[in-house]
Amino acid sequence: MQDPGPDPRGWPAPVGSAMILGVWLFLGAGEQSRPVIGGQQLTRACEQCKQTTVFYEQEVSRTVELYFVKMFAFAPKNVMKCGACGATFATGASTHATFNEQQAGTIAGTLGAAAERAKTAFEDGTVEQQFDRAQDAVKNATSAATSAVTAWWKRRG
């Protein structure tokens, strides 16, 4: 495939994108952070904004994005975040979150949570109950349809 050259409109190519088989593929990398429930809180002077404020423990993970949608997260670490300016400082502590906790807010996390719900439904019999109800509904519908066709056939002939 030949390079089409510069965009005739003069637009630059987006950063973090690639053209594959004539289709733009937008890849990105980023970070997501969330507070650690029951995490540490420290009062100290911030090196960046110079205010004495409360620092809150946060979990920060790197993310891979496809078309601006977070696909999965990796390399989680804990940091302390300044309550005044939002600056973060490494604590050196790694996180012990489960896979589903690390993937919260990503496609991988959504699929993992759906798989967990399906597993639970199979284990507690919910799926079997739903299947039995559906089977009974089909039997009732078949019986009603048979009765209706039989009655129509008798009236007709």
Residue 131 lies in a domain: no
| Residue pLDDT, tens place only, 44-94 | 888 889 889 999 988 888 888 888 787 877 777 888 888 898 888 877 655
pLDDT at 99: 59
More confident residue, 13 or 57: 57
Residue 143 lies in a domain: no
Whether residue 74 contacts residue 61, with contact meaning beta carbons closer than 8 Å, is answered with yes
Whether residue 64 contacts residue 72, with contact meaning beta carbons closer than 8 Å, is answered with yes
- Name the most confidently modeled range: 2-11, 19-28, 137-146: 137-146
| Rg value, the chain, Cα | 28
Would the pLDDT of 39 be above 60?
yes
pLDDT at 23: 67
Structure token pair of residue 121:
């439904």
Structure token pair of residue 44:
């100290």
pLDDT at 10: 53
pLDDT at 1: 44
* Distance, CA of 132 to CA of 32 (rounded, Å): 43
Computed from CA positions of residues 146, 147, 148, 154, in that sequence, does the dihedral angle turn out positive or negative?
A: positive
Tell me the residue range of the domain where 51 lies.
17-124
AA identity, residue 79: V
pLDDT at 54: 92
Whether residue 122 contacts residue 89, with contact meaning beta carbons closer than 8 Å, is answered with no
Would the pLDDT of 34 be above 80?
yes
Give the HSE-up count for residue 73: Cα atoms under 13 Å, Cβ half-sphere.
Answer: 24
Residue 1 lies in a domain: no
Residue 91 lies in a domain: yes
pTM (2 d.p.): 0.45
Whether residue 7 contacts residue 13, with contact meaning beta carbons closer than 8 Å, is answered with yes
Q: State the Cα angle at 88 between 33 and 27, rounded to 5°.
A: 45
Residue 148 lies in a domain: no
| Residue pLDDT, tens place only, 93-122 | 555 566 566 667 777 777 777 888 888 877
Domain count along the chain: 1
Residue 134 lies in a domain: no
Cβ count near 82 (within 10 Å): 20
pLDDT at 19: 57
